[in-house]
A and B are shown apart, each in its own frame.
Chain A
Amino acid sequence: NAGVTQTPKFRVLKTGQSMTLLCAQDMNHEYMYWYRQDPGMGLRLIHYSVGEGTTAKGEVPDGYNVSRLKKQNFLLGLESAAPSQTSVYFCASRLDGNYGYTFGSGTRLTVV
């Protein structure tokens, strides 16, 4: 089925470790986004991309980096994980500003 695929679904990291979350979409969408969702905080935008080769900071970018080398992939990196980055991470994409988002099913990350 067409959509947004996130890998991995679950991950436990030790403080200071690094990892990359992968988001892939097969809908030829221009826009891609990374959000984190925490209890009582709603969805907060980390970084986003308006097209291949472009990235921009969102509301809570510190501690994260992203890359969009290919249109269909959007990678989120944590260079040195901290317990405050324990969260559920969602990737989303959309065709352009006039359309709604298509979300992936999320990655649950725990940093101990």
Chain B
Amino acid sequence: TQLLEQSPQFLSIQEGENLTVYCNSSSVFSSLQWYRQEPGEGPVLLVTVVTGGEVKKLKRLTFQFGDARKDSSLHITAAQPGDTGLYLCAGVSRGGATNKLIFGTGTLLAVQP
């Protein structure tokens, strides 16, 4: 069973601070996605990374896929209260079924105004 472990589990910061969330596995993934989930709603796709070493930016969010395709990170610059939510990474394991994702355990972020 492939596991995707996220750290930290919980993060509470002040508006304007920077933060990084990590997603790690011992398995190689052919692609990895990041989702954000707000209370009472389903997760919403933020980005998909496919190539080892790939970096994608979405406004103040920077996503990176590790060179070995076993890990990923999400960096938020100058966090805002609207960034509050549960951040989930999810991957398709190399050699595994491409028709389903494996989800990480999640990082709950609270940005205080």
Residues of A within 8 A of B (CB): 4, 31, 33, 35, 40-45, 48, 50, 58, 90, 92, 97, 100-106
Contacts of A41 in B (CB 8 A): 105
Given A42-B88, A42-B105, are A104 and B100 also a contact pair (CB < 8 Å)? no
Residues of B within 8 A of A (CB): 33, 35, 40-45, 48, 88, 90, 92, 98-101, 103-106
Q: A105-B42, A106-B41 are in contact. List 17 more A-B contacts (CB 8 A).
A: A4-B42, A35-B103, A41-B105, A42-B104, A42-B105, A43-B103, A48-B100, A50-B99, A90-B42, A92-B42, A100-B33, A100-B45, A101-B45, A102-B45, A104-B42, A105-B40, A106-B40
Interchain residue pairs A-B with the least CB separation, the first 5 = A103-B42, A100-B45, A97-B98, A43-B103, A42-B105
Establish whether residues A103 and B43, one from each chain, have CB atoms under 8 Å apart when the complex forms. yes
Chain A to chain B contacts (Cβ below 8 Å), 15 pairs: A4-B42, A33-B100, A42-B104, A45-B100, A48-B100, A58-B100, A92-B42, A97-B98, A100-B45, A100-B48, A101-B33, A101-B35, A101-B43, A105-B42, A106-B40
| A57: min CB distance to chain B, Å | 11
In the complex, which residue of chain A has the Cβ closest to the Cβ of B34? A100
